[in-house]
Chain A
Amino acid sequence: MTGIIVVTHSDFGAYLIEASEHVVGVKENILSVSINSRMSIEDVRVNVEKVTEEIKKKCSDIIYFVDIPGGTPMNVVLPFAKDINRSAVVCGVNMTMLIYALNLKDTMDFDALIEKILLEGKKAICEVKSILTGGNK
């Protein structure tokens, strides 16, 4: 089974999960970690370790979603992901990619799942007013 952990600045990740589940329904094996300015790196690490262990109880595979490349969530998550054979760290989490991850996890091969998530997440970033004037996206 594949677990999902969303690690972000502030409670962005928790709200993103809430919003995504509003669309696709409540799913299992998905947790978040919020980082605030009062936490030390060690606090963040302890929290990421806690949720990682929790997810590992049921899941062999883990997808970590983080917000910005180079941010603290990414920096803290990478060393954990390194020690998990089938895991991925996906930067730039958005609602579309999380929805795809929630819907498709446990239905396809891990590498293909990651590829699909990245594809759909990137596709969702677009300007759409041009549709009205007949322009192409």
Chain B
Amino acid sequence: MIIFRVDDRLIHGQVVENWLAAFSINHIVVSSRAVVSDDMRKNIMKFSVPDGVLLDFIDPPDLSKFIFDNKKNYLVLFESLEDVFLSVESGVRIERLNLGGIHYAKGRNFSMGRVVFLSEAERNILKKLIDAGIDVYMQSIPQEASVKLRCDI
């Protein structure tokens, strides 16, 4: 099983204390352009991952080369929709995409829900992903109802 999630906080409380146990995740793949060359953030994330859960850092354009073992449960974390787009462009196939947190920042004027705000450029990327057949839903924690995003966003 693979859960693909966009979360600009990457590995944080909701992930460590909730998603991992809820889906018996044994391998986290952080796929973020910014993190690949940031040793400090990598070290912080390595500390945060519980024992027994593997952690890899993969540049989004290289994610298509990553070999997923279908006996394992993966959580793939993207930092942004751009990271998702880069990985999809390089050939990664995503059926469902969880939007777990794209927090408000200046220019993110489209509010999709409590924890998802998009800029014009991000909205265009999201439209492309939905048009490509990806089932995109918002859900920050597993206990919360998921909200499907439609292509007429």
A75 touches B114 (CB 8 A): no
A41 to B44, CA, bound (A): 15
Q: Across the interface, which residues of B come within 8 angstroms of A79, CB to CB?
A: 40
Which residues 99-116 of B sit at the A interface, judged by CB distance below 8 A?
101, 103-105, 114-115
Contact among A42, A43, A72, A78 with B13 in the assembled complex (CB-CB below 8 Å):
A72
Q: Is A9 positioned at the interface, with any CB of B under 8 Å from its CB?
A: yes
Q: Across the interface, which residues of B come within 8 angstroms of A43, CB to CB?
A: 103, 105
What band does the interface of chain A fall in when counting residues whose beta carbon is under 8 Å from B?
10 to 19
Contact among B9, B104, B105 with A75 in the assembled complex (CB-CB below 8 Å):
B9
DSSP class of B's interface residues: helix, strand, loop or mixed? loop
A135 to B105, CA, bound (A): 55
Q: Across the interface, which residues of A come within 8 angstroms of B140, CB to CB?
A: 37
How many chain B residues have a CB neighbour from A under 8 Å?
20
A40 touches B105 (CB 8 A): yes
Smallest distance from the beta carbon of B28 to chain A beta carbons, Å?
A: 11
Contact among B9, B13, B16, B17 with A41 in the assembled complex (CB-CB below 8 Å):
B9
A75 touches B17 (CB 8 A): no
A68 touches B13 (CB 8 A): yes
Q: Is B149 positioned at the interface, with any CB of A under 8 Å from its CB?
A: no
Q: Across the interface, which residues of A come within 8 angstroms of B44, CB to CB?
A: 74-75, 78
Can you list the 3 inter-chain pairs with the closest CB atoms, starting with the nearest? A70-B48, A71-B13, A40-B103
